[in-house]
Amino acid sequence: MEKNKIVQLGQENIPEAWYNVLPDLPVPLKPPLHPQTKEPVGPEDLAPLFPMGLIEQEVSPDNYIDIPGEVIDIYRIWRPTPLVRAYQLEKRLQTPAKIFFKNEGVSPAGSHKGNTSVAQAYYNKKEGVKKLCTETGAGQWGSALAMGCKFFDLELQVFMVRSSFQQKPYRRVLMETWGATVDPSPSDKTETGRRIQEEDPDTPGSLGIAISEAIDMVIQERGTAKYSLGSVLNHVLLHQTVIGQEAKAAFELIDEYPNVVIGCCGGGSNLGGTALPFVKDVIAGKDIRLIAVEPTSCPTLTSGKYEYDLGDTAGFTPLILMYTLGHNFVPPPSHAGGLRYHGDSPIISLLVKEGLMEAVAYHQVEVFEAAVLFAQTEGYVPAPETAHAIKAVIDEAIRCRESGEGKTIFFNFSGHGLLDLAAYDEYLSGALSDV
Amino acid sequence: MEKNKIVQLGQENIPEAWYNVLPDLPVPLKPPLHPQTKEPVGPEDLAPLFPMGLIEQEVSPDNYIDIPGEVIDIYRIWRPTPLVRAYQLEKRLQTPAKIFFKNEGVSPAGSHKGNTSVAQAYYNKKEGVKKLCTETGAGQWGSALAMGCKFFDLELQVFMVRSSFQQKPYRRVLMETWGATVDPSPSDKTETGRRIQEEDPDTPGSLGIAISEAIDMVIQERGTAKYSLGSVLNHVLLHQTVIGQEAKAAFELIDEYPNVVIGCCGGGSNLGGTALPFVKDVIAGKDIRLIAVEPTSCPTLTSGKYEYDLGDTAGFTPLILMYTLGHNFVPPPSHAGGLRYHGDSPIISLLVKEGLMEAVAYHQVEVFEAAVLFAQTEGYVPAPETAHAIKAVIDEAIRCRESGEGKTIFFNFSGHGLLDLAAYDEYLSGALSDV
Contact between chains at B176 and A424 (C-beta distance less than 8 A): yes
Q: Does B254 touch chain A (CB under 8 A)?
A: no
Distance CA(A280)–CA(A139), nearest Å, equals 33
Counting as low any pLDDT under 50, the low residues of chain B are 1
The answer to whether B376 touches A179, Cβ cutoff 8 Å, is yes
**What is the length of chain B?**
435
Whole-number Å distance between alpha carbons of B271 and A388: 39
CA-based R_g, chain B, Å = 20
Distance of CA A44 to the CA centre of its chain: 27
Indicate the pairing of strand A358-362 with strand A83-85.
unpaired
Say if the Cβ atoms of B372 and A422 lie within 8 Å.
no
Q: How far is A67 from chain B (nearest CA, A)?
A: 12
- Mean pLDDT across A350-374: 98
Q: Which of B76, B108, B379 shows the shortest C-beta gap to A77?
A: B379
Spatial separation of the C-alpha atoms in residues A254 and A338, rounded to whole Å: 33
Any idea how long chain A is? Answer: 435
Q: Please, what is the Cα angle at B389 between B214 and B432, to 5 degrees? A: 75
Smallest Cβ distance to B169: which of A1, A110, A425? A425
**Domains observed in chain B:** 6-15+71-111+235-428 (3.40.50.1100), 52-66+113-231 (3.40.50.1100)
3-state SS record for A276-303 = HHHHHHHHCCCCCEEEEEEECCCCHHHH
Long-range contacts of B330-333 (CB under 8 A, 24+ apart): B330/B206, B331/B295, B331/B297, B331/B298, B332/B297, B332/B435, B333/B163, B333/B433, B333/B435
Under the banding of pLDDT at 50, 70 and 90, the label for residue A328 is confident
A80 min Cα distance to partner chain B (Å): 10
B380 CB near a chain A CB, below 8 Å?
A: yes
Contact B138, B164 (CB under 8 A): yes
Q: A138 vs chain B: nearest CA distance in angstroms? A: 15
Please choose, from the candidates A150, A316, A118, A121, the residue with its C-alpha nearest in 3D space to the C-alpha of residue A220.
A316
Each residue's pLDDT tens digit, B216-270: 999 999 778 999 999 999 999 999 999 999 999 999 999 999 999 999 999 999 9
Where are the alpha helices (H) located in B186-286, listed in sequence order?
A: 191-199, 207-220, 234-253, 269-275, 279-283
For chain A, what is the radius of gyration of the CA atoms? Answer: 20
Interface of A with B in 45-74 (CB under 8 A): 69, 72-73
CA B367 to chain centre: 18
Burial of B285 (0-12, 13-18, 19+ CB in 10 A): exposed
- A178-183 mean pLDDT: 98
Instruction: State the count of interchain CB pairs (< 8 A) between A and B.
Output: 130
- Angle separating helix axes A234-253 and A346-353, nearest 10 degrees: 70
3-class DSSP state of B132: strand
> Tell me: the pLDDT tens digits for B327-383?
888 888 888 888 988 999 999 999 999 999 999 999 999 999 999 999 999 999 999
**Are the beta carbons of B142 and B158 closer than 8 angstroms?**
yes
Each residue's pLDDT tens digit, A3-25:
689 999 999 999 999 999 999 99
Say how far apart CA A238 and CA A64 lie, in whole Å: 9
Instruction: Assess B8–A contact: CB distance below 8 Å, yes or no.
Output: yes
**Rounded to an integer, what distance in angstroms lies between the CA atom of residue B279 and that of residue B238?**
13
Distance from CA of B132 to the nearest CA of A (A): 17
Q: Using an 8 Å CB-CB cutoff, list chain B residues near A73.
A: 1-2, 5
B residues 90-129 lying closer than 8 A (beta carbon) to A:
106-110
Cβ of B428 and A177 within 8 Å?
yes
Q: How far apart are CA A334 and CA A207, in angstroms?
A: 13
Beta bridge partners of B289: B260
| Residue B279, helix vs strand vs coil | helix
Are A59 and A76 in contact by the 8 Å Cβ rule? The answer is no
3-state secondary structure (DSSP) of residue A262:
strand
Residue-wise pLDDT tens digits, A78-107: 999 999 999 999 999 999 999 999 999 999
Please give the ipTM for the structure prediction: 0.97
- Would the CB atoms of A176 and B428 count as touching at under 8 Å? yes
Q: How far apart are CA B156 and CA B253, in angstroms?
A: 40
Judged against a pLDDT cut of 60, whether residue A1 lies above it is answered with no
* A227: pLDDT strictly greater than 60: yes
The pLDDT assigned to B2 comes to: 55
CA B183 to chain centre: 22
CA distance A143 to A140: 5
The mean pLDDT value for A141-158 works out to: 98
